[in-house]
Amino acid sequence: MKRVSLKDVAKMAGVSKSTASFVLNGKAKTMRISEALAEKVIAVAEKAGYQPHQLAVSLRTGQSKILGLIVESISGSFFASLAKIIEDEAEAYGYKVVYCSTENNALKGRELIRMLSQRHVDGFLITPTIGMEKDIKKLVSLEKPVVLMDSYFPEVESSYVLVDNARGVKQGMDHFFKKGYKKIGFVTVDIDLVQMNERMQAYHESLAEHGVRANKKLILRVPYNGDKADAIAQINAFLKNTPGLDAVFFATNYPGIRGWRALPTWACACRRTLP
């Protein structure tokens, strides 16, 4: 079936193409087109099943009204919730969101940026992973609106939004110290990202502030992209092989979720209630 064009709508409504365009783009009042004529054009367009060609609209207006959202993993609860909030906020301003995941793979991230650029998105919201620096720098150099989330690259001049990593860790550590715990383990992931480094630094600073000497044996790094069962086994072994451990601080949700699988075994072995 032939696609109904703007020219077809104008002909069926008995108006010029420009008049039909003004009406269907919500500019009838601005262009002083009568309400009756505007309603006629809209009725004809709806009856004919007219749908604007998005690429043509984008090229004509310079806007696609679409934002590209790139996160680590859309399946995780944190990023899924974040995506929903972004989608709701974008909708309030008349924007749609196309979202996708890198799974912390820089090559996949590069391909996603290319794909979204080809779709002429109006802006990018990106949770960057190591290896995406050049691609994001290029977007910035092309004056594309870019906002980095959850992490950033110090060498890239771009807006970014972060949680207060240091404060969050110190609040958690303060809670442990108030409970009388001093031998506190720290489980993180083996990714060299700004937010993870800030959390590790805050852990060390918190120990120093409470007069506790840092111990490398109390720190475990699990592979981010490793097998879940292997990660659980690693955490389980860490807990069992660290005598006198009072508490464990999980730096992020990935090892935290796996840690919950290992904690019951540790609690039974220790014969005590976990904090």
Looking at the fold, whether 41 and 97 belong to one and the same domain comes out as no
147 vs 227: CA distance, rounded Å: 31
Query: Do the domain assignments include residue 113?
Result: yes
Query: Which of the listed residues 161, 194, 229 is the one where a domain comes to its end?
Result: 161
Domain count of the fold of the chain: 3
Looking at the fold, whether 97 and 26 belong to one and the same domain comes out as no
Looking at the fold, whether 189 and 253 belong to one and the same domain comes out as yes
Looking at the fold, whether 256 and 215 belong to one and the same domain comes out as yes
Query: Do the domain assignments include residue 208?
Result: yes
> Ramachandran region of residue 178, left (φ > 0), alpha (ψ -120 to 50) or beta?
alpha
Looking at the fold, whether 14 and 42 belong to one and the same domain comes out as yes
Looking at the fold, whether 169 and 256 belong to one and the same domain comes out as yes
CATH number of residue 124's parent domain: 3.40.50.2300
35 vs 23: CA distance, rounded Å: 10
Q: Which tens digit of pLDDT belongs to each residue from 23-50?
A: 877 788 888 899 899 889 888 888 888 7
Strands 146-149 and 159-161: parallel
Query: Do the domain assignments include residue 225?
Result: yes
What percentage of the chain reaches a pLDDT higher than 70? 89
Looking at the fold, whether 41 and 67 belong to one and the same domain comes out as no
Q: Which tens digit of pLDDT belongs to each residue from 218-257?
A: 999 998 777 888 888 898 899 888 988 999 999 987 777 7
Looking at the fold, whether 99 and 192 belong to one and the same domain comes out as no
Please give the pLDDT value at position 274. Answer: 43
Looking at the fold, whether 73 and 114 belong to one and the same domain comes out as yes
Please give the pLDDT value at position 4. Answer: 81
How many helices and strands (H and E) does the chain possess? Answer: 11, 8
Query: Do the domain assignments include residue 214?
Result: yes
Query: Which of the listed residues 161, 187, 202 is the one where a domain comes to its end?
Result: 161
CATH number of residue 13's parent domain: 1.10.260.40
pLDDT: which is higher, 193 or 140: 140
Query: Which of the listed residues 114, 142, 161 is the one where a domain comes to its end?
Result: 161
Looking at the fold, whether 171 and 266 belong to one and the same domain comes out as yes
Looking at the fold, whether 121 and 202 belong to one and the same domain comes out as no
Q: Which tens digit of pLDDT belongs to each residue from 147-199?
A: 999 888 888 999 999 889 999 999 999 999 999 999 999 999 888 888 899 99
Q: Which domain holds residue 15?
A: 6-52
Query: Do the domain assignments include residue 1?
Result: no
Looking at the fold, whether 184 and 87 belong to one and the same domain comes out as no
Query: Do the domain assignments include residue 77?
Result: yes
3-state per-residue secondary structure call for 172-239: HHHHHHHCCCCCEEEEEECCCCHHHHHHHHHHHHHHHHCCCCCCHHHEEEECCCCCHHHHHHHHHHHH
* Contact yes or no for 3/21 (Cβ under 8 A): no
